[in-house]
Structure 1
Amino acid sequence: MSEILLDIKNLHTAVEDKEILKGVNLTVNKGEVHVIMGPNGAGKSTLAYALMNHPKYHTTEGEIVFDGEIINDLRADERAKKGLFLSFQHPEEVAGVTVENFLRTSKVAVTGEPLKIMSFRKALKEKMELLEMDEEYAKRYLNLGFSGGEKKKNEILQMSILQPKLAILDETDSGLDVDAIRIVSKGVSSEANKERAIIIITHHNKILDYLNPDFVHVLVDGKIVKTGDMNLAKEIEANGYEMFKNHMA
C-alpha cells in the first residue's frame, strides 16, 4: 500500500482571476513533516486555502490527490471528513459558542460518530494541560478575547482533538513570543506520528528550532523553487530570499 498521503500535481490557483499558484508540485508521505517557506506574497497561504477548497481560491489546473483520491471537486467539509485540517493564521472569534462545544461538535461532524461526554472531557483536559491552557478556557467563547498566543494554542488544540491525517499549519508561530512558540511546538510534536503528516507554513524558522522537519521547501512567485532540509532553512535565516530573486516576479 502506498505511503503517499498527499500528491499535488501542477496546481494552479487563482484569486479573483489573478493567478497566485503557478504550477506547484509536492508529494507528502505519511509520517513526514514538511515546511514551506517563502517571502510575502509568494502564495504560501494560498496553497493552504487551495488544499482546503476555500471558496475564494479557485483551482484552474492540476490535481490534488489525497489518500489516493482526487479531491478537486470536494467541498471543504468533505475534505475535513477525509482527514484534512487547516489551522488559521488569523483565527476567527465566535461569540456564543464555547471552546468545548465547538470542539465536540466539530469532532462529531468530522467522524460522524457520537461522543461519550466524559471520555471527551477527559481527553480535552489532557490536551489542554499539554498546551499549558487552563481548563477554564473550555468554557470561554471561541477565541473571544483570546491573545494571539491563546488563539494559536487553541488551533493546535483543535488539531489534537480532531486527529487529522494531514495537518496544515499556516503561520502558527507568527506573533508569538519564545515561550508560546515552545508550547505550541510541543503540542505539534506530540501529534506527529507515522500515520499523520504535517505541513508547516512559515516566514522564519523560530518554530523549527523545536521541530525536526523532513523537508524544507521554498515557495517563490507561486512555485516551489528549491527543496532541502533544515540547512536550507538556516541558509534562508542567514541570507534571506535574495538567492531566489531570479524566481521572483
Structure 2
Amino acid sequence: MATLEIKDLHVQIETENGPKEILKGLTLTLSTGETHAIMGPNGSGKSTLAATIAGHPRYEVTSGSITLDGEDVLEMEVDERAQAGLFLAMQYPVEIPGVTMTNFLRTAKTALDGEAPSLRHWTKDVKGAFEALQIDPAFMNRNVNEGFSGGEKKRAEILQLELFKPKFAVLDETDSGLDVDALRIVSEGVNRAQAANEMGTLLITHYTRILNYIKPDHVHVMVDGRVVESGGPELADQLEAEGYARFEQAVAAGA
C-alpha cells in the first residue's frame, strides 16, 4: 500500500497586487485503494491543490509538505512526479497541435516506464481502452485534444489514466461539462483503473452526481484553503441538501 501525505500545506500565487495565499494549512492523507472526494465552493483552493500536487510552476509552496511513501514530492520535477505514480486529469485539458494521440500515448508510456511497451500488447491495450470509453478509433490519428469537444477531452484524460496505471490520480472536476452518458462512461473508466491497479483517487468536484458512480470512502469539505470537515459518503448528501453556507460562516467567524 502506497501513501500520499499532505501536511500543513501553504501555497501562494503572484498577482498584480502581490502574493496571495490560496492554501492555508491543508492536511490530507490518501492511500492506494481509497477514493477521497474534495468538495467546496468556488475559490476554496481545490484546483490549486491539484496543480500543486502535479507541480505547476505558478503555485509556490511557502511551507508544509507533500510526500509519497516518504519521498519529498516537492523536490521532484513534473516528469519525476509522473514517474513516481502521480497523475492529474485536468479540469481544462490543453490542445497539443502536431502531436497525434497515438504518438503521445506511446511516448508518454515509454517515459513513465523507462522502456517502450511491447507493440503487440500496447496496441491491444490502446484499442481496448478506446472501445471501453467509446472513443472513435479515428481519434488515434488526430492531434491531442485538437478540435475535441469538452466531453471528448475528458474521455481522453481517462484514456490516459487507464493506460498509464498511476498509483494516485487527482481528478480535477472531471465531471464538469459532461452529459449523463459521458459522465457514466468516464466514471466507469475511473472505476476500472482503480480496480485494476489499487489506485488511490482524489476526486475534486462541486456536485454529488459523479459520486453516484464513483463511490467515495471519504468526503472532505474545503473552504478558504483548508479542509474544514471530513466524513463518509453521507457528508456529500448533506452538502447537496444544505450547501456550503454553514462551513463558510464558521470559517468567517473564526477568521
Give TM class, smaller chain. Answer: over 0.9
Aligned ranges for residues 95-106 of structure 1 at < 5 Å? Answer: 95-106=97-108
2:206 to 193, 197, 203: 203
Whole-Å separation in 1 of the counterparts to 2:73 and 2:143? 33
Partner of 1:214: 217
Note the aligned Cα RMSD (angstroms): 1.2
Kindly provide the amino acid, as one letter, of the partner of residue 168 in structure 1: V
| Residues 31-85 of structure 1 deviation map (CA, whole Å, 9 limit, x = unaligned) | 1011001000000000001111110001110111112212221111111110100
Cα pair 2:83 2:113 within 8 Å, conserved: yes
Cα pair 1:24 1:222 within 8 Å, conserved: yes
Whole-Å separation in 1 of the counterparts to 2:32 and 2:111? 24
Partner of 2:112: 110
Secondary structure of the residue aligned to 2:108 is helix
Partner of 2:142: 140
Whole-Å separation in 2 of the counterparts to 1:158 and 1:71? 21
Cα pair 1:4 1:27 within 8 Å, conserved: no
Cα pair 2:2 2:167 within 8 Å, conserved: no
2:57 to 50, 55, 63: 55
Unaligned runs of 5+ in 2: none
Kindly provide the amino acid, as one letter, of the partner of residue 45 in structure 1: S
| Residues 94-141 of structure 1 deviation map (CA, whole Å, 9 limit, x = unaligned) | 111111111111101111112222221110010111111121111111
Partner of 2:153: 151
**Aligned: 1:228 with 2:226:** no
Partner of 1:36: 38
Secondary structure of the residue aligned to 2:75 is coil
Whole-Å separation in 2 of the counterparts to 1:175 and 1:103? 24
Partner of 1:10: 8
Partner of 2:179: 177
| Residues 165-223 of structure 1 deviation map (CA, whole Å, 9 limit, x = unaligned) | 00100000001111110110010111113631011101111111111110010110000
1:87 to 89, 95, 113: 89
Displacement of 1:247: 1.4
Secondary structure of the residue aligned to 2:139 is helix
Whole-Å separation in 2 of the counterparts to 1:115 and 1:242? 50
Kindly provide the amino acid, as one letter, of the partner of residue 30 in structure 1: T
Partner of 2:77: 75
Cα pair 1:31 1:192 within 8 Å, conserved: yes
**Aligned: 1:247 with 2:251:** yes
Kindly provide the amino acid, as one letter, of the partner of residue 206 in structure 2: H
Unaligned runs of 5+ in 1: none
Question: Size of the alignment, in residue pairs?
Answer: 247
1:191 to 190, 193, 205: 193
> Which is further off, 190-199 or 24-33?
190-199
Return the TM-score normalized by structure 1: 0.96
Whole-Å separation in 1 of the counterparts to 2:136 and 2:2? 38
